[in-house]
Amino acid sequence: MAAKLIKGTEIREEILEEIEAEVAKIKEKHGVVPGLVTILVGENPASISYVTLKIKTAHRVGFHEIQDSQPIDLSEEALLALIDKYNKDDAIHGILVQLPLPKQINEKKVLNAIDPDKDVDGFHPVNVGRLMIGGDEVKFPPCTPAGIQEMIVRAGVETKGAEVVVVGRSNIVGKPIANMMLQKGVGANSTVTVVHTGTKDLASHCRRADILIVAAGVPGLVKPEWIKPGACVIDVGVNRIGEKISEKTGKKIAILSGDVDFDAAKEIAGSITPVPGGVGPMTITMLMKNTLKSLKFRLGIN
Ligand code: GUN
């Protein structure tokens, strides 16, 4: 039987509508809207397209949004001064510095300079610590793991007591999602195993998973025989495996593949995310949610 498709594109619309409605209510009652600034240094084409979409989405849900584009030769000192300016700006509740940064700038220093209470990416060590503690301590879960958890919950997949296997141990996806799924609470309370390049037998761990979350960056890594029948499979991989001409625009676009052999896996899994159109759209959506949360923390409402 074919698996149920968990579509990020549809869940995104549901969440953005919820955010838009909440923003309108807060604006009416408190006279403020969430403010998001995205700082882009240089002209990396992928970064430009991500930032453009972030700002477009922020605009759509009624945020005050600023796109701050800086030259590629910006000094580290100048970027730190810019962050300091936005840290002090009361109209700004979320600061996002688009990564990667040019070589002359120390990424760690920059991320650490963002006020943890405006760090809507959730990359600051204070927010990493808050996530580890869990519960009410958590302010800004990083956007991709938050999107994954939201998809699992909205797809109606039981997480309590479930065997969750996470493939990959990155700071942005693998480590935080593993940590989130083991906490007490809704959409979590699971038994979590993290497997990685040092794991002896990846397949045997994956086969035990009720929920398999794959963020390895290796196209087609997970074979259909690694999937437990009926499992929920979340494919975080976005691998460019070639190029094609878009039928819509006539322009060259990337051919994307996930980390899971989708066509075969969908015959075995109970539910599965496609690539593209699965986890991808959720990341920017959760950035909006974090920025709204930041304003709500500021106003003391929840
Ligand atoms: N570059 C690629 N993805 C991201 C992201 O989620 N946040 C930031 N700040 N930079 C990125």
pLDDT in tens, 247-289: 888 988 889 999 999 999 999 999 999 999 999 999 999 999 9
Residue 81, SS3 per DSSP: helix
Q: How far apart are CA 168 and CA 7, in angstroms?
A: 22
pLDDT at 302: 79
Is there a catalytic annotation at residue 98?
Answer: yes
Whose C-alpha lies nearest to ligand 1, atom 11?
99
Catalytic residue among 119, 121, 210, 235: 121
Q: What is the mean pLDDT of the chain?
A: 97
**What are the residues whose beta carbons fall under 8 Å from the beta carbon of 267, sequence distance 6 or more?**
1, 2, 3, 224
Q: How far apart are CA 7 and CA 284, in angstroms?
A: 15
- pTM of the full predicted structure? 0.96
Q: With bands split at pLDDT 50, 70 and 90, how would you rate the model's confidence at 239?
A: very high
Residue 1 has pLDDT above 80, yes or no: no
Q: What is the 264 CA–ligand 1 centroid distance (Å)?
A: 31
Residue to substitute in 67, 121, 148 for testing ligand 1 pocket (most ligand atoms within 8 angstroms of CB) = 121
Q: How many residues make up the chain in this entry?
A: 302
Residue 91, SS3 per DSSP: coil
Residue to substitute in 36, 68, 98, 111 for testing ligand 1 pocket (most ligand atoms within 8 angstroms of CB) = 98
Q: With bands split at pLDDT 50, 70 and 90, how would you rate the model's confidence at 88?
A: very high
Query: Using one digit for the tens of pLDDT, what is the confidence trace for 113-152?
Result: 999 999 999 999 999 999 999 999 999 999 999 999 999 9
* Residue 197 vs residues 80, 123, 215, 301, 302: alpha-carbon distances, Å: 36, 23, 12, 43, 41
Is there a catalytic annotation at residue 54?
Answer: yes
- Annotate 275-288 with b (16+ C-beta within 10 A) or e (fewer): bbbbbbbbbbbbbb
CB distance 157 to 271 below 8 Å: yes
- What values do phi and psi take at 251, rounded to 5? -95, 160
Residue 252, SS3 per DSSP: strand
CB distance 287 to 244 below 8 Å: no
User: Who lines ligand 1 at CB under 6 A?
Assistant: 50, 96-99, 121, 143, 283
Q: What is the 297 CA–ligand 1 centroid distance (Å)?
A: 23
Q: What is the DSSP string of 256-295?
A: EE-SB-HHHHTTT-SEE--SSSSSHHHHHHHHHHHHHHHH
Structure tokens at 61: 């849900």
